[in-house]
Structure 1
Amino acid sequence: MSLRLEWNNEQNEFPVSEELIEKLRQLLQLAGEAENIRDGEVALTFVDDNEIRRLNKEYRGLDKPTDVLSFAMQEMGDDEIEIVFGEMEEEDLEDSRALDADGRDDDDQDEHDEDEEYEAFEEPLGDIIISVPRAIEQSEEYGHSVDRELGFLFVHGFLHLIGYDHQSEEEEKVMFAKQEHILQQAGLTR
């Protein structure tokens, strides 16, 4: 098992290249190593300002666009929605067929090669949503590449997923130092 990035592009302002995705995968691995997190899945979605504004209003009560939102799957605070995977109703259990220890139907045992490997389920760490128009605007403001800004926002979002925050000056120093170190390791300098 390992850290895995799943991504989706729902915006048209900036082409998402395979090189960018590979850089984000590298950042995920570096951030995971730095925080001793070896397994899990991060879902990343690139959106426009309208969509991130809608999400920000719906989930945070703020009617404005932001650069990045993170939705951790591991936390369960008062404002969070519980996400349940694979819960079956009583009648569904009655209809299900017996499965062996590998999750295969008893009837299908002979159809599978003993050496066949099955993809392991990666536990979701959470979702990161990035506003590409905000990233473009901020990259121009700070004088660095859009790729660096997207990388910064991605690492920032990842650190939020695993529990970091920046509510106090001390927390902000810690979080931003970690972000900068990871970006430097990946060659995404200012």
Structure 2
Amino acid sequence: MTLSLEWIDEREGGAGPKEEKWMELLEQLLAIAGKKEEVETGIVTLTLTDDEGIRELNRQYRGLDKPTDVLSFSLIEGEEPEIRFDGEYEASEEGEEEWHDEEKAGNPYSELLGDIVISVPRAEAQAEEYGHSFERELGFLFVHGFLHVIGYDHGDEAQEKEMFAKQEQVLLEAGLTR
């Protein structure tokens, strides 16, 4: 297995041709960031949403009733995630093996690294505010989210400096300058 990106577009109207180009860019950024951070396998899920969608998630998971630009949900940090699955698998076709416990069946979530949620309207507004392209802002938010998924944080000045330097390296390598 390799490092891969799966995506969902929850915005009204859904995805179109421009979003397909975004995904190519984000897959490139994931490959660069994964290589730099020595993350070779796993699945990152990206959800594109609007301000209302991310506001609801921000309220539910962080207790902040306001929209934000990006949220990350890691499935690899700290303790095992509280994800449950039915470990008893029975093959549907006669003659195939039957699995009766989780150890033999394997964990279907073991390849998931985490989820990143980005508010597209917020990214558009920030790109305009900061005077750079939408692609640069989207890339910045995605790489920021990915670094959170794999364990980085910016709780103090030293952590912030390290994390933002890593983001900038990935963006520069992809040609996304300010």
Q: How high is the TM-score relative to the length of structure 1?
A: 0.79
Alignment length, in residue pairs? 166
CA shift, 1:108, in A, is: 5.4
What is the correspondence of 1:24-43 to structure 2 with a 5 Å cutoff? Answer: 24-43=26-45
Are 1:175 and 2:163 counterparts? Answer: yes
Spell out the pairing of 1:13-162 with structure 2 (5 A cutoff): 16-76=18-78, 82-88=82-88, 96-97=90-91, 107=95, 123-162=111-150
- Contact 1:41/1:122, CA 8 A, preserved across alignment: no
Give the secondary structure class of the aligned counterpart of 2:82: coil
Q: Is the 8 A contact 2:54 2:117 kept in 1?
A: yes
Deviations 1:33-68 (A, max 9, x none): 000000000000000000100000000001111000
Residue of structure 2 in register with 1:166 after alignment = 154
**1:39–1:122 contact (8 Å) kept in structure 2:** no
- Identity of counterpart residues, as a percentage? 57
Aligned to 1:10: 10
| Alpha-carbon distance between aligned partners in 2 of 1:123 and 1:70, rounded to the nearest angstrom | 17
Q: Judge conservation of contact 2:75–2:81 (CA < 8 Å) in 1.
A: no
How many angstroms does 1:138 deviate by? Answer: 0.5
Look up the SS of the partner of 1:54 in the other structure: helix
User: Per the alignment, in what secondary structure is the counterpart of residue 95 of structure 2?
Assistant: helix
Cα gap change, 1:51 to 1:81, in 2 (>3 Å) = farther
Radius of gyration: which is bigger?
Answer: 1
Q: Which moved more, 1:13-22 or 1:149-158?
A: 13-22
Given residue 28 of structure 1, which amino acid in structure 2 is its aligned partner? L
What is the CA-CA distance between 1:11 and the residue it aligns to? Answer: 1.7
Matched-pair contact (CA < 8 Å) for 1:73–1:83? no
Deviation of the 1:18 alpha carbon = 1.9
* RMSD, matched Cα: 2.5
For the residue of structure 2 that corresponds to 1:141, the secondary structure is helix
- Which structure 2 segments of 5+ residues have no match? 98-107
Long gaps (5+) in structure 1: 98-103, 110-119
2:54 and 2:95 map into 1 onto residues whose CA distance is: 47
Q: CA deviation at 1:85?
A: 3.7
Shift of residue 86 of structure 1?
4.0
Deviations 1:153-188 (A, max 9, x none): 000000000000001000000000000000000111
